[in-house]
Amino acid sequence: MSRPTASLFRSRRTTHRHSGRRDRRHRIDLLEPLERRIVLNNGAVTLINVATASDGPGSAPNDGPIAVAYDQPLGALILLNVSTDSKPVFFEVTPAGTVSPFSSLTGWRLDADFDIARPGQPGGWTAGDLYSPTPTAGQIAKISNNGATANTDWVTLPGETAGLSAVFFDRTGLFGGDLIAVARSGNVWRINATGLNPTKIATITGSAELESGTVVPNNPGQYGPLAGTIVVADEGQAALDAITPAGTVTLVNLGISHLERVQVVDPTENFFGIDQDNSVILGAAAADLTWMGGDLLVNSEGTASPALTRVSYTGAALQTQALTLGPGSATLSRWEKFTFAPIGVGPLVPPAAGMGSLAGSVYDDLNNDGRQQPGEPGIDGVTVTLTGTTTQGNAVTLSTTTGASGSYDFGHLWPGTYSILKSTPAGSIEGKDTHGTLGGTAGIGRIDGITMTPGAVGTGYLFGLDRPPHFTTTPVTQASSPSQQLPRPYVYNAGATDPDGDPLTFTLL
């Protein structure tokens, strides 16, 4: 095991010529190999076979899957499949592990990476829209409406004569939230959400094979010379290419052959990667990678399993750290692309951050308006039951009782669709029920159709109870009247009071 020196690299300015223009480019040359450590407690990753890409109708791959991305509105993974015949190009992989065609596109032979817009990311993109290179040079396709609409010529990059190896989003905003496109010519482009006026921002020289990339947050303390840059996996030079917003390119020589993908580790999401030779998706729990959250993860197509490497910054130098396989891990043949997603698939459970909760209360609704207000006490000891089905197809039945304040809480819930049912304690009658923040349909003593997405927190699921009115009567007496009067009149006094003060109307029959 080697130890890091005070300085692992030196930087020098080099000048290259590409297409008749001066190329702003730096190079980081290693004085010795970057540190490669094995952390016994934290460096092991247990890979799980979560889905086989040949499952599902019409989905038998020709050459196998090549890339994977997360579709947050669908709550599913999307695969890009390499195909030379009429097989579909994109497939949906549900949390249950089932695989089915995602769009009508067929017959692309394409070794490339794609991306899908997520809610809340900068740049004005529509969540769920998919962007991918096509087999045509410089061309980007857009697939929307959950795969129903495909525009294979959404953008053609002006003057680009080579095919694209990847497109991916800038989710930091450092590059305007744009879509970044990497061409096999070495050109790197920015495209905004309108698709108008794509801009070439840099040219990477010296590489025969560029792969996919990411945009690194602008945090020099964590990322050193990579902070605030587009980073591209450079398989041809066993390196990372870091590109600033001004277009300066720095080559960071990792000394790792056959690089495929680089991405910032999201410690709240599970890992999903493509083993192309076996046509499977291999997953790993977020807990396996939490310790390196925020650092960079690269994978390698040709080195020994698991071929996953952490790239981090010590405050003085970049270093690498090879990960190992944990006990019982699935074996790997050959990595292609990978992603992170806050869902579980097949036997891989959702990450803890992807688990949700539902909460509410049972209370004495004094005015029967369906809202718990000051002075309306909670009712303890009431049985509340949760039923439903997770997105992975598993049935769920959980029960709890309300606490002293009338509150209840169901935690650690998988994404899925749920119902909450309440028992009615003795001495009470049904009042008005109200659904909470995740929606649903309130009935009598139950709230149905609550849809939970990964990490959703639902509150305010209220069950109002009422107390029945109290009826009072007096014995029947004969009214004072002449004895000869027929029929003889009788007196019957009836009354009713409501303990909650609700107005009452009743009819004697």
Distances (CA, A) of 413 to 79, 355, 437: 26, 5, 16
Closest CA to 100 of 72, 119, 82, 81: 81
At residue 87, the pLDDT reads 79
Alpha-carbon distance of 46 to 94, in angstroms, equals 21
Confidence band of 421 (pLDDT split at 50, 70, 90) = very high
Sign of the alpha-carbon torsion through 238, 239, 240, 246: negative
Supply angle C-alpha 439, 442, 447, rounded to 5.
75
Q: Is the peptide bond before 65 cis (omega within 30 degrees of 0)?
A: no
Alpha-carbon distance of 56 to 2, in angstroms, equals 48
At residue 391, the pLDDT reads 76
Count Cβ neighbours within 10 Å for each residue of 316-352 and write b for 16 or more, e otherwise: ebbbbbbbebeeebbebebbbbbbbbbbbbbebbbbe
Name the percent of the chain lying above pLDDT 70: 80
Q: Which of 208-222, 316-330, 490-504 has the lowest mean pLDDT?
A: 490-504
Confidence band of 58 (pLDDT split at 50, 70, 90) = very low
Give me the chain's average pLDDT, please: 83
The 230-234 sheet, strands edge to edge: 9-18, 21-30, 249-253, 239-243, 230-234, 210-215
pLDDT: which is higher, 461 or 486: 461
pLDDT at 453 over 90: no
Summarize the confidence of residues 379-385 as an average pLDDT.
Answer: 92
pLDDT digits (tens, 9 = 90+) for 303-350: 566 799 999 998 889 999 999 888 899 988 889 999 999 999 999 999
pLDDT at 47 over 70: yes
The pair of three-digit structure tokens given for residue 230, joined into one six-digit string: 């587009």
pLDDT at 80 over 60: yes
Summarize the confidence of residues 440-469 as an average pLDDT.
Answer: 88
pLDDT: which is higher, 502 or 317: 317
pLDDT digits (tens, 9 = 90+) for 181-203: 999 999 999 999 999 999 999 99
Select, from the ranges 63-67, 409-413, 433-437, the one with the highest average predicted confidence (pLDDT): 433-437
The answer to whether residues 63 and 85 touch, using CB atoms and an 8 Å cutoff, is: no
Summarize the confidence of residues 224-234 as an average pLDDT.
Answer: 95
pLDDT at 506 over 50: yes
Distances (CA, A) of 443 to 363, 370, 390, 437: 16, 12, 22, 16
Alpha-carbon distance of 22 to 392, in angstroms, equals 54
How many residues are listed for the chain in this entry? 509
Select, from the ranges 62-66, 73-77, 252-256, the one with the highest average predicted confidence (pLDDT): 73-77
Confidence band of 498 (pLDDT split at 50, 70, 90) = low
Kindly report the three-state secondary structure assignment for every residue of 448-507. Answer: EEEEECCCCEEEEEEEEEECCCEEEECCCEECCCCCCCCCCCEECCEEEECCCCCCCCCC
At residue 61, the pLDDT reads 43
pLDDT at 143 over 60: yes
pLDDT at 501 over 70: no
pLDDT at 215 over 90: yes
pLDDT: which is higher, 497 or 462: 462
Name the percent of the chain lying above pLDDT 90: 52
Question: In order of start, what are the domains of the chain with their CATH numbers?
Answer: 16-352 (2.120.10.30), 355-466 (2.60.40.10), 469-509 (no CATH)
Beta strands per DSSP E along 35-124? 44-45, 48-52, 64-71, 76-82, 90-93, 99-101, 115-116
pLDDT digits (tens, 9 = 90+) for 116-139: 999 888 999 999 999 999 999 999
Alpha-carbon distance of 373 to 363, in angstroms, equals 10
pLDDT at 16 over 80: no
- Residue 129 CB coordination number (10 Å): 18
pLDDT digits (tens, 9 = 90+) for 87-116: 789 999 999 999 999 998 988 888 899 999
pLDDT at 496 over 90: no
Confidence band of 494 (pLDDT split at 50, 70, 90) = low
**Residue in the structure block whose two tokens are 């920015």:** 190
pLDDT digits (tens, 9 = 90+) for 275-291: 988 889 999 999 898 88
